[in-house]
Amino acid sequence: MHKLIVLLIVVAATVLSSVAEARAEALEFSGFARAVAGKIDTEKATYEGYDDSISFSEKSLIAFQADYTFSSSFSASAQLLLHTDEDRESGIEWLYLTYAPSESFQINAGRLRTPFLKYSDVIDVGFAYPWINAPQQLYSSYLFSQYEGGNARLRRSFGDVVVDFEAYYGKYEDALASSGVNVDVAVDNMFGGVIEVNYGGLQLRTATINAPKVQTTIDEIAPFLQGLRAAGFDSIAEQFDINDRAGSFLLGASYDTLSWYVSGEWMKVSSDIDVLANLESFYVSYGYYLDEVLLHLTYASSRQSLNTIDNVIPVGVSPELDQLYFAVEQLNSFFPTDDLDTWTLGARWDVKTNIALKAELSLLDGKEGRTSFYEVKDNNFDRNATLYQVAVEWIF
Amino acid sequence: MRKYTLFFLILLSSRIATAQEGVWVVANVTDQGFSLTKGEVRNLFMSSGTSKKYVFDPVALSPGNRARAIFNAKIIALPESRIQSYWAQMRFSGRMTPPKEFDNLDALLNYISSTDGAIGYVPADTELPNNVAIVYRSF
């Protein structure tokens, strides 16, 4: 079935890209697609949806973008994304109006993707970055990936140094699926910004995301929390109420030359929410070009500080209390504790100016007893696995 | 083994050839004494950014043109594949679109000479229309 979807995507893209070539003056079509196949070498867990059989459907996608220019300073853009991942919905990913009175200033309003990490607002455009799977320790964990609101982007030059500023404000709402449980997340006020400094091949970046009040509803655990309160354990129930501040902070640097590059990003996610412990992660990456082939090596690591759930239910008093105690422990273990170190070796071959082939191998070294970005199926799993992926990236 | 040696020799010779050729960055500007630094040219073609008080319209030759390869190597200092992935990032995040591209030198020069503020690059020693001036020379 998934193979069929991938095939349909490729056929649709071929037809639509030829339509795009016959574009009108004011309306421009473009798009991107990726077909990714991968597997991990264990049957005891899944990682990023991958198990020990080859899957094409975890990351394959196609997107169509339409840009309509009303006048020299007003335009509208829409991006439709079709995804084969079961945990992600297909639909309108970007939809916004742009007012750009000059080349160095623009305002956008509508549905936008949150700018944070170097590639976080183009994470679906695999062609834009070297990896197949950008370091998960950062790219899957930086909090709110899109928002409805507005942003302003300003560019200033100081001699040969170009500085970009971006500030945004909006709201976020999403239904996330975590270990098969639906989590509804709503942030009414979210704001942040990015400063990026470019000097020749050197780039320095810093970014923040701030959400003063994150409201989360998990229908599955509501009756249990009610039960805890009824039994007089309000303090425990309160710790599972996710209704507080969260934020992320980023520092990044990269240096690009004609034949090699180095890049790295460090990020910290902090929150006052008890069960969402603080996360610190980073990667460093080196790439070397052998003509059209890029070889790259990346080390990435994340550390999540321990959950501080204070389980005050006494053990050994009665079977009912024991049961409640273990239920709290079990619920606590459902929340992520993502300690993971990875080495990733990859190759990217740009066969044409708009098509790249990639292959990638990642050694995943998680910590026992932690989730480490896995969905663990067998508790004996030692959290070590190898992820193999190949991909075709395409823009049109 | 001989096949590989030959391959590397060809590779090497093509790199030496690129290193010996130069490009001129040329623009349709009224001020004939106007010039740019290498850093300014790079910023103009990668981010439309310049501290100069001119509004420029950068234009490029399509991939596969020799002058483009030399310009990429000497001024942008990035491989073609990195430049393509950079523009994909800029386009699909709604930031910028790449410079307009022309398949050949004549079409590029025609555009520059008929458009105020247009700026592009040509192989060194190209014969230029009267209203097109050299603003940067790379050897």
Angle at A195 between CA A279 and CA A254, to 5 degrees: 75
CA A57/CA A50 separation, integer angstroms: 9
* CATH number (domain holding residue A226): 2.40.160.10
Structural domain total, chain A: 1
CB-CB neighbors (< 8 A) of B80 in chain A:
350, 353
What's the burial of A143, exposed, middle or buried (CB within 10 Å: 0-12/13-18/19+)?
A: buried
Please give the DSSP secondary-structure letter assigned to residue A218: -
CA A341/CA A363 separation, integer angstroms: 8
Tokens of residue A217, six digits: 């509803």
CA A290/CA A303 separation, integer angstroms: 34
Each residue's pLDDT tens digit, A159-203: 889 999 999 999 999 887 665 667 888 999 999 999 999 999 999
What's the burial of A18, exposed, middle or buried (CB within 10 Å: 0-12/13-18/19+)?
A: exposed
Each residue's pLDDT tens digit, B27-83: 998 887 889 999 999 999 998 766 666 788 999 999 999 999 999 999 999 999 999
- Each domain of chain B, given as residue ranges in start order, spans 22-138
Tokens of residue B32, six digits: 């004939």
User: Which residues pair with residue A38 across a beta bridge?
Assistant: A55, A389
* A205-208, long-range: CB < 8 A, 24+ apart: A205/A118, A205/A250, A205/A251, A205/A252, A205/A253, A205/A265, A206/A249, A206/A250, A206/A251, A206/A252, A207/A115, A207/A116, A207/A117, A207/A248, A207/A249, A207/A250, A207/A252, A208/A247, A208/A248, A208/A249, A208/A250
A12 three-class SS = helix
CB pairs under 8 A between A and B: 99
- pLDDT of residue A25 exceeding 70, the answer is no
CATH class for the region spanning B22-138: alpha beta
Tokens of residue A49, six digits: 């949806």
Query: Chain B residue closest to A357 (CA)?
Result: B81
Q: What is the mean pLDDT of residues B2-17?
A: 53
Beta strands in A41-145 (DSSP E): 45-47, 61-69, 74-83, 91-102, 105-113
Q: Is B81 in Cβ contact with A125 (below 8 Å)?
A: no
Residues of B with CB under 8 A from a CB of A: 11, 37, 39-40, 42-43, 47-51, 55, 63, 72-73, 77-82, 84-86, 88-89, 91-95
> What's the gap in Å between the CA of A211 and the closest CA on chain B?
22
> What band does B4 get if pLDDT is binned at 50, 70 and 90?
low
CA A324/CA A328 separation, integer angstroms: 6
Q: Residue A209 is part of which domain span? A: 2-395
Q: Is the dihedral of CA A222, A225, A229, A234 positive or negative?
A: negative
CA B22/CA A66 separation, integer angstroms: 39
> What band does A364 get if pLDDT is binned at 50, 70 and 90?
very high
ipTM over 0.90: no
